[in-house]
């Protein structure tokens, strides 16, 4: 649980005590009021009927689209390590977050999704769960509404928010017919209330049978509590830190915020040097909208 969330709990407790009102569980009261009147989730999903749009991706931000080179090879290594994690425990839905903004989480989420989708047999779902500052639709050149926020608010059904790229020989994304995208939808002031209700779990449960991998790009965990709430629907969390920008204390707090989740490790973004031996590390390179990517480590020595 993050310190910001704990501070909100204390503030709410003190406010209710001063007003002499009955004190109840902090988030549960919100959940009950937010979900009671929402329509049930429609689970009927046919991948062949998903809406298609002519995406116009920013190829410079998606090095994993290329066929060869250091960047694509390193994301393949990251894909391989994530796939190997399935040997330890069931793994399909991964939430990707960071401690603070501009550390590269969206860059990693998008390129990992692309790499998984290019693996041939994988049906991959990429969800923009950053309800505050979404970027994936801009990089993909895709419509951003309707999206996750409309679904969480109960104003859109599952079939309404799914989209794929339209087959087009001039479009580099046409090679990825097995990549499906859910944009963030419209940003709103009640993102926390949307994230805390249980419709995200319902969404993942409805879509999980149709996909081999589901990746969720979320908000920075120390800035807002959305990521912790959305992580309830994920099997594991992958964290991103940025070399020369992310303080060690921030990385520690980000990891602690997901104490109730399975953490796969840290991706160290914009790194110029491979970490010394004795650390778990992956290495990949590339230039995304949030900078170069580099070694990945979880910050814990072996043994």
Q: Give the pLDDT confidence of 133-191 residue by residue, as tens digits.
A: 999 999 999 999 999 999 999 999 999 999 999 866 566 565 677 899 999 999 887 88
What domains appear along the chain, each with residue ranges and CATH number? 38-296 (3.40.50.300)
Could you tell me the two tokens for 19?
Answer: 């007003």
242/254 Cα distance (integer angstroms)? 13
Look up the pTM and report it. 0.77
- Look-up of token digits 């399909």: 92
pLDDT > 70 in the chain, percent: 72
pLDDT by position in tens, the chain (length 303): 334 334 444 544 554 444 454 433 323 322 323 434 555 555 567 877 899 999 999 888 898 888 888 778 878 889 999 999 999 999 999 999 999 999 999 999 999 999 999 886 789 999 999 999 999 999 999 999 999 999 999 999 999 999 999 866 566 565 677 899 999 999 887 888 999 988 999 999 999 999 999 999 999 999 999 999 999 999 999 999 998 889 999 999 999 999 999 999 999 887 776 555 433 333 333 333 333 343 344 433 332
Q: Which two tokens stand for residue 134?
A: 């979404």
- The 10 Å Cβ neighbour count of residue 10 is 11
Cβ partners under 8 Å of residue 89, min gap 6? 235, 262
- Are the C-beta atoms of residues 211 and 180 closer than 8 Å to each other? yes
CA distance 213 to 123: 7
Whole-angstrom distance, CA of residue 125 vs CA of residue 180: 5
Tell me how far apart the alpha carbons of residues 206 and 120 are, in angstroms, rounded to a whole number.
23
């Amino acid at each position: 649980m993050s310190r910001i969330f704990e501070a909100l709990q204390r503030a709410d407790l003190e406010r209710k005590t001063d007003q002499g009102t009955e004190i109840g569980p902090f988030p549960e009261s919100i959940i009950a009021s937010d979900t009671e009147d929402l329509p049930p989730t429609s689970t009927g999903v046919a991948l062949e009927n998903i809406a298609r749009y002519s995406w116009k991706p920013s190829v410079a931000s998606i090095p994993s689209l290329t066929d060869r080179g250091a960047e694509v090879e390193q994301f393949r290594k990251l894909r391989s390590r994530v796939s190997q994690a399935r040997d330890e425990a069931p793994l399909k839905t991964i939430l990707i977050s960071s401690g603070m903004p501009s550390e590269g989480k969206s860059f990693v989420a998008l390129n990992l999704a692309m790499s998984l989708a290019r693996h041939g047999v994988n049906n991959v779902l990429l969800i923009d769960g950053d309800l505050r500052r979404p970027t994936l639709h801009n990089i993909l050149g895709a419509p951003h509404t309707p999206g996750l926020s409309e679904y969480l608010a109960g104003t859109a059904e599952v079939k309404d928010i799914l989209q794929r790229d339209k087959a087009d020989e001039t479009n580099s994304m046409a090679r990825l017919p097995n990549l499906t995208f859910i944009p963030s939808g419209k940003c709103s002031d009640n993102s926390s209330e949307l994230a805390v209700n249980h419709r995200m779990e319902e969404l993942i449960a409805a879509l999980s049978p149709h996909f081999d991998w589901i990746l969720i790009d979320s908000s920075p965990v120390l800035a807002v509590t959305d990521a912790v709430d959305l992580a309830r629907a994920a099997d594991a969390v992958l964290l991103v830190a940025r070399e020369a920008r992310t303080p060690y204390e921030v990385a520690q707090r980000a990891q602690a915020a997901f104490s109730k989740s399975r953490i796969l490790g840290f991706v160290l973004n914009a790194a110029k040097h491979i970490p010394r031996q004795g650390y778990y590390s992956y290495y990949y390179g590339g230039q995304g909208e949030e900078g170069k990517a580099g070694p990945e480590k979880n910050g814990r020595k072996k043994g």
